[in-house]
Structure 1
Amino acid sequence: MLSLQLAHRLQGSNILLIGAGEVALTRIPKLLPTGCKLTIISPLIHSKIQETFPNQVSNGDTSINGNWTPKSQQTYRIIRDIYSRDQLDIEPVWSIILVCISDHIVSKEIYQDVQNKYGSGQMINVADVPPLCNFYFGANAILANGHIQLLISTNGLSPRFGALIRDDIEERYDSHAVQLDEAIRKLGELRETVRTIACNHDDVKLRMTWIKEITDRFGLANCYKMDVDKLAHLFTDTYSYCKQEGIPIVTSDNIPSKEDLLSQFTTAT
């Protein structure tokens, strides 16, 4: 079966990571840039993981990063102890629970504790045991200074092969990084401007259709060239016309052709 690939917004969300060895080390670089509030439970902490945890204030086995903020991209809490069931109560809710220990018997016990306490809806990933995961980590291709993220998933079958595909994509698009960054920035600005102009509930289909048609006509190779101000004026005129004529959506007849867009609505290069 296919999996549903989603982008999770985790800023300020509590994440529990049990284990702090080599496997955990592969998870943390994906977690901390999200601004999540990461708690790690492990009697031993990998030296590179310890580097993500400065400014600590200790109370027994528990240490807190006193200067943690979502933007710090640092670990929030470390509990230097073996896992115990009561540690699940440290926070009222966990957005994600990750089990990254090599002992599959203990991993299964932790999984069962989580299921008993939170039910099957709790997001949990048990490393190297696909049947005990209701989500998988994929290989993330990062393009356009992080404005574009692509997830390549093999649904737990071969993470390494997914990573090879990720590396190939990043290599192919590396020479276009500036254009991609400019394109996604301009498209975001245009989309927000259009939402401001056509802000009524019954305008949703009109503005979404217009944005889609404009993006498709510029195409992957040319979106970075678009002149946002000129296109905003074009949309204002199109929007007024559609409202005046009672047209609920944009049609190909009231959007310039690709050739006209590239000749009249691009910035000087």
Structure 2
Amino acid sequence: MSAQQPIGVFDSGIGGLSVLQALLAELPHEHFVYLADNGHAPYGEKTDLFVRQRSLAIAHHLVREHRIKALVVACNTATAAAIQELRHHHPHLPLIGVEPAIKPAAQLTRTGRVGVMATRGTVASEKFQRLLSSLQGSAEFEVCACNGLALAIEQTTLPAHQDRAPAEVTRLLRSYTRALGDFGQAPGQIDTLVLGCTHYVFAQEELQALLGPDVQLVSTGAPVARQTRRLLEAGGLLHAGPAPQTLAGRLQLFTTGDLAGLQAAAQRWLHLPPQGCQRTVIPL
């Protein structure tokens, strides 16, 4: 393994691009291979067995075909379901997962009440429940499994759904935030909201407008990027060469699903030209 090899990043779809944004900023000299498993999204509404099988297949593909030097699992559901098995199968590969940022949220809250929006798969996982239990007493957590929200955000990039998907995102955001309770700075109100799915970051402007400027939104991209840097430094794997002149020169994006959706998302959030995206097939 050498410092010149790329870093692999994968998610069930476009949500992991929010983590990739942070990685690109934190590690400007590195090359990345991003894989969106859109053909099997969303993971949050699949079984743990299915998510583990897909995660292992994708990791094997990235190691074999792209010779990655580290792997970022940019999906809360895949981290919860598969990170331990991935570490077992790839013991020498630096592996970084994501999890809902409820610990930093507990430190940020002033009212003592924290809302958590996540997928059903994340909320039901043992890993999340252990994390939640470890923080009991530090804050009061209101948790909502947001079925359909990741998919609706995903569909905002698909031409066939662009007329309906934004309205569906708005409807779901209103429904799930209402279910969590009252937001604000007054005693008894939720003043901090954890975005427990990487997709939800792409709805944060609408969420902020919905909840008001005093509610803090907490996501995981920047902490994951910093942890990736720490692991690369510890392993002597930081790329020391000159930074690529263009984003297209340091990034390859692949999807197992609709190519137009990934191209639209990459243009919108990374300002990457469509030719930077390709379609691939990864069987189980």
If the TM-score is normalised by the length of the shorter chain, which range does it land in? under 0.3
TM-score, structure 1 as length reference: 0.26
TM-score, structure 2 as length reference: 0.25
Tell which has more relative contact order, 1 or 2 (C-alpha 8 A, sep 6+).
2
- Between Structure 1 and Structure 2, whose CA radius of gyration is higher? 1
